[in-house]
Amino acid sequence: MFFVANRKKAHLGCSAGSKHATRSALLPSPLTSLRLPIAISATLEAQNTSFVALANKIATLDTDFQRLKALYTQLWRAKTGSMRDPFSQLDRGSGGEFGVESLYGK
């Protein structure tokens, strides 16, 4: 992926294993600089596709959750005779008489 810009300059006064010679002599190849934007673009498109798929799954889960919540509220109201919302923090009070525990009886 790298090519030597000036081979004579890279070998003058530098040993073969010198880090200084490697840094100054190696430059990115033209192919690497062309592939980088394409790779970034492909990665961003893949991320976008993943995020959209995840958002769709979350929306589906939220819809299912709202249906279950409405069904539970109906069942809870029929069982307890109360019209309060079993999911509301304000309606629960400190006695714990609202929520799942009240469905099982005491």
pLDDT digits over 11-60, tens only? 444 455 555 555 545 656 666 666 788 889 999 999 999 999 999 999 99
Instruction: Please give the residue that has the higher pLDDT: either 76 or 51.
Output: 51
Q: What is the pLDDT of residue 91?
A: 66
Q: Is the pLDDT of residue 9 over 50?
A: no
Asked if residues 25 and 6 have their Cβ atoms less than 8 Å apart, the reply is yes
Assign 87 a pLDDT band (cuts: 50, 70, 90): confident
- Confidence check: pLDDT of 73 > 90: yes
* pLDDT recorded at residue 37: 85
The residue among 71 and 101 whose pLDDT is bigger is 71
